[in-house]
Structure 1
Amino acid sequence: MGAPLYQLKAEFFKTLGHPARIRVLELLSERECAVAEMLPEVGIEASHLSQQLAVLRRSNLVIARREGSTVYYRLTSPEVAELLRVARTILSGVISDQAELLTGLRAEPERPARG
Structure 2
Amino acid sequence: MHNSTVASLAKIMKSIGHPIRLKILCLLVDGGQTVGEIHDQLTTSFANVSQHLQRLHHQGLVVTDKQANFVRYSIASPKVTEMIGTLRRLYCRSLIDNETVKSQKSNPMRNKS
TM over 0.5: yes
Partner residue, 1:59: 59
Work out whether residues 29 and 85 of structure 2, in 8 Å CA contact, stay in contact via their aligned partners in 1: no
Identity of aligned residues (%): 26
Q: CA deviation at 1:84?
A: 1.6
Partner residue, 1:24: 24
Partner residue, 1:79: 79
- Measured against aligned partners, the alpha-carbon deviations of 1:24-69 in whole angstroms (never above 9, x if no partner) come to 1111110111111111212210110110000011011111122221
Partner residue, 2:40: 40
Q: Report the Cα distance in structure 1 between the residues aligned to 2:54 and 2:15, rounded to whole angstroms.
A: 11
Partner residue, 1:12: 12
Partner residue, 1:68: 68
Alpha carbons of 1:35 and 1:89: their partners in 2 closer, same or farther (altered >3 Å)? closer
- Under a length normalisation based on structure 1, what TM-score does the superposition of the two structures give? 0.71
Q: Report the Cα distance in structure 2 between the residues aligned to 1:85 and 1:67, rounded to whole angstroms.
A: 26
Q: Report the Cα distance in structure 1 between the residues aligned to 2:86 and 2:58, rounded to whole angstroms.
A: 23
Q: Report the Cα distance in structure 1 between the residues aligned to 2:90 and 2:39, rounded to whole angstroms.
A: 28
Q: Which amino acid aligns with 1:62?
A: V
Work out whether residues 35 and 72 of structure 2, in 8 Å CA contact, stay in contact via their aligned partners in 1: yes
Work out whether residues 26 and 85 of structure 2, in 8 Å CA contact, stay in contact via their aligned partners in 1: no
- RMSD between aligned alpha carbons? 2.6
Work out whether residues 26 and 88 of structure 2, in 8 Å CA contact, stay in contact via their aligned partners in 1: no
Larger Rg: 1
Q: Which ranges of structure 2 fall in alignment gaps of 5 or more residues?
A: 102-113
